[in-house]
Amino acid sequence: MDNLPWIFISALLVNNFVLTYFLGLCPFLGVSNSLETSARLGLATTFVMLVTAVCAWVLNTYVLVHAPYLRLICFIVVIASTVQFIEMLIKKLSPALFRAMGIFLPLITTNCAILGLAIFATNRGYGFWEGIVYALGAGIGFTLALVLLAGLREESELSNIPQIIKGTAMNLIIAGILSMAFMGFAGLFSAA
């Protein structure tokens, strides 16, 4: 139980899903043009991650013991139905947010960060609480990366940038520099 804080910090900073594992790059590059939208998408993704972690644990413990080759198909079906559920929930609760997220809400299904979370947690043999903490750290880490990039992009909208570098090329280079900064966290573990 005492490794829980380390799992959290590792998923949040040291092994940040976006900047170290390259997971969830599509929303990272696609939605990060406004702070507001990216923060909300990050929260929605975090929630899906939590639900997925719980489902993955249940499936792994009770169902897939006898049929490990069905793991991938089971996970993806669970994720797809969770996303569908959240989509209906958001549509009901906040239609404005629903419109703002547009196509990227259903696309959470193909966000590899979520499937990646389920697979990593399985490979490392995490238990119930470890899985939840891992999902929380990964989700907040994803939101953090998204918000950081969105903030930088909002600033860059106002500056005079050569036409040729605008768009994905600049975002990737910014992401590269952010990723370098996050590599600095790698020292956290050996220091502790």
**Residue placing its CB nearer to another protein in the complex, 58 or 73:** 73
Q: How many residues does this entry show for the chain?
A: 192
Q: Which of 33, 151, 179, 185 binds another protein (CB under 8 A)?
A: 179
Q: What mask of x and - would describe binding to another protein in positions 120 to 159, judged by CB under 8 A?
A: x--x------------------------------------
Q: Which of 2, 65, 69, 159 binds another protein (CB under 8 A)?
A: 69
Retrieve residue 4's tokens. Answer: 């829980």
Contacts of 77 (CB under 8 A, 6+ apart): none
Retrieve residue 69's tokens. Answer: 């080759």
| Piece in contact with another protein (CB under 8 A), picked from 41-49, 51-59, 112-120, 150-158 | 112-120
Per DSSP (E only), the strands in the chain are none
Please tell me the distance from the alpha carbon of residue 43 to that of residue 143, in angstroms, as a whole number: 7
> What is the per-residue burial (b if ≥16 Cβ within 10 Å, else e) of 38-72?
bebbbebbbbbbbbbbbbbbebbeeebeeeeeebe
Q: Which of 64, 97, 100, 112 binds another protein (CB under 8 A)?
A: 112
Closest CB 164 distance from another protein, rounded Å: 5
Closest CB 49 distance from another protein, rounded Å: 13
Virtual CA dihedral for 177, 179, 181, 184, nearest 10 degrees? -150
Closest CB 191 distance from another protein, rounded Å: 20
Q: Which of 176, 184, 187, 188 binds another protein (CB under 8 A)?
A: 176
The alpha carbons of the chain give a radius of gyration, in whole angstroms, of 17
Number of residues near another protein (by CB under 8 A): 44
Q: Which of 4, 39, 90, 109 binds another protein (CB under 8 A)?
A: 109
> What is the per-residue burial (b if ≥16 Cβ within 10 Å, else e) of 89-124?
ebeeeeeebbebbeebbebbbebebbbbbbebbbee
- Write out the residues near another protein by the rule CB under 8 A: 19-26, 29, 69, 71-73, 76-77, 80, 106-107, 109-112, 114-116, 119-120, 123, 163-165, 167-173, 175-177, 179-180, 183
